[in-house]
Amino acid sequence: MNGPLLKVENLTKHYPLGAGLLKRTIPVVRAVEDVSFSVEAGETLCIVGESGCGKSTVARLLMRLTDPTGGRVLIDGTDIAGLTKYELRAYRRRMQMVFQDPYSSLNPRLTAGQIITEPVENFERLSRKQRQAFATEFLQKVGMSPHMKDRFPSELSGGQRQRLGIARALALNPSLIIADEAVSALDVSVQAQILNLLMDLQQQMGIAFVFISHDLGVVEHIGHRVAIMYLGRIVELAPCEALFAKPIHPYTEALIAAAPVPDPTRARLEVPIEGEVPSPINPPSGCAFHPRCPIAVERCRLEVPPLVSMADGRVVACHMRAPATDASPQALAVVPPLPSVAEPQPSS
Ligand code: SF4
């Protein structure tokens, strides 16, 4: 099959808040606005943003756990909105999810072995011997001892539970795993083990990941490409190395500047950003980032910036840093320089 494994086109999700009988307009939460991206087989696309930016809603839309207000999700070219209930089951077999809280996503009354084999038994009957072999194989795949198969989730550590969640997702041999804050509840040392496990599994099995996180350190470690979301929209999408080496959108700069830098020799950007993320019920006009943006101009308040393709393969939505070719001559004339990079301090 040619083309990307997953293609998302203009995906939009609004949640109506309800209204009194006499109200004419119903307020809506604009959780996701006009989001488009694609994921190739064996690729990791990370989606990053602050709480409430819509990244987890994107994950729910990809799994069709909720229906979009607009736009499409295509897997191997098939629009999942048109699938029957039966076809959707087969589709979900190809796309699995790993959740943030492994404890609440695992059935506490099932053993580890039963948790791994249960999704498979929704599709085919397994003999007792096959069940045992299956559980052993997938526990070993995620670096757990086969002896663990008789343990309940309450008898496992946080890291073991997340490994078990991954084993359950792998059991159906998916093409794509959507990992929603999959390591953020874990200790840093366990995070590193789980991330390395996911990368190893990707190499062995060719699985693609949509990895949702607010942690840029994690994203830099695991991502091939990164999409930055702000208030429901993608504002920058770029290859991972390019994004961290030279962020273009002012919000991306601010996120990277705010992230802790464990390497004392690495340059750090100085970018001021103030204020809170506005409400998605009543987002700012034009570019939603304009009330917090240090380089905003009048046009930013009036027009939503389109995503513009750059020469290095990234797309950016910013009137000032990535002006559309049909932008006004005034806007094109004022392209501010990227912020200066502080000289790295010599390590003592
Ligand atoms: Fe800032 Fe304007 Fe660019 Fe938005 S469009 S990020 S407000 S400069």
Closest CA to 39 of 227, 236, 232: 227
Atom of ligand 1 nearest to the CA of 295: 8
State the distance from the centre of ligand 1 to the C-alpha of 273, rounded, in angstroms. Answer: 12
Closest CA to 168 of 183, 179, 155, 154: 179
Q: Is the model's pLDDT at 327 over the cut of 70?
A: no
CA 310 vs. chain centroid, Å, equals 22
State the distance from the centre of ligand 1 to the C-alpha of 219, rounded, in angstroms. Answer: 24
Tokens of 200: 């190893």
Which residue is associated with the tokens 């103030």? 274
Apex CA 255: angle with CA 253 and CA 258, to 5°?
A: 105
User: Is the beta carbon of 289 within 6 A of some atom in ligand 1?
Assistant: yes
Output Rg (C-alpha) for the chain, integer angstroms: 22
Spatial contact of 28 and 17, defined as CB atoms under 8 Å apart: yes
In angstroms, rounded to a whole number, what is the distance separating the alpha carbons of residues 348 and 264?
Answer: 9
Q: Give mean pLDDT, residues 285-300.
A: 94
Pocket test for ligand 1, best of 300, 304, 321 (most atoms within 8 A of CB): 300
Tokens of 279: 């409400």
Looking at residue 304, what DSSP letter applies?
Answer: P
Atom of ligand 1 nearest to the CA of 297: 2
Per-residue pLDDT at 266: 60
Across 99-232, the runs of DSSP E, i.e. the strands, are: 176-180, 208-213, 225-230
Atom of ligand 1 nearest to the CA of 299: 2
State the distance from the centre of ligand 1 to the C-alpha of 317, rounded, in angstroms. Answer: 8
Tokens of 141: 């795949």
What's the chain's average pLDDT? 85
**pTM, to two decimals:** 0.85
Across 152-276, the runs of DSSP E, i.e. the strands, are: 176-180, 208-213, 225-230, 233-239
In angstroms, rounded to a whole number, what is the distance separating the alpha carbons of residues 66 and 55?
Answer: 14
- DSSP code per residue over 144-160: --GGGGG--GGGS-HHH
State the distance from the centre of ligand 1 to the C-alpha of 286, rounded, in angstroms. Answer: 9
State the distance from the centre of ligand 1 to the C-alpha of 34, rounded, in angstroms. Answer: 18
In angstroms, rounded to a whole number, what is the distance separating the alpha carbons of residues 251 and 289?
Answer: 8
State the distance from the centre of ligand 1 to the C-alpha of 136, rounded, in angstroms. Answer: 53
Q: Percent of the chain scored above 90 by pLDDT?
A: 51
pLDDT digits (tens, 9 = 90+) for 157-194: 988 998 999 999 988 889 999 999 888 777 777 788 88
Q: Percent of the chain scored above 70 by pLDDT?
A: 87
Per-residue pLDDT at 16: 87
Torsion angles phi and psi, residue 330, rounded to 5: -65, -45
- Domains along the chain with CATH numbers: 6-94+210-261+269-333 (3.40.50.300)
State the distance from the centre of ligand 1 to the C-alpha of 178, rounded, in angstroms. Answer: 30
User: Is the beta carbon of 318 within 6 A of some atom in ligand 1?
Assistant: yes
Tokens of 131: 């069940």
| Summary count for the chain: helices (H), strands (E) | 11, 12
Tokens of 197: 């496990």
**Which amino acid type is present at position 176?**
L
pLDDT digits (tens, 9 = 90+) for 3-46: 899 999 999 999 988 765 665 677 889 999 999 999 999 999 99
Atom 6 of ligand 1, residue of closest alpha carbon? 318
Atom of ligand 1 nearest to the CA of 300: 2
Atom 8 of ligand 1, residue of closest alpha carbon? 296
Across the chain, the runs of DSSP E, i.e. the strands, are: 6-16, 28-39, 44-48, 70-75, 78-79, 95-98, 176-180, 208-213, 225-230, 233-239, 308-309, 315-316
92 or 56, higher pLDDT: 56
pLDDT range class, residue 234, cuts 50, 70, 90: very high
Per-residue pLDDT at 273: 72
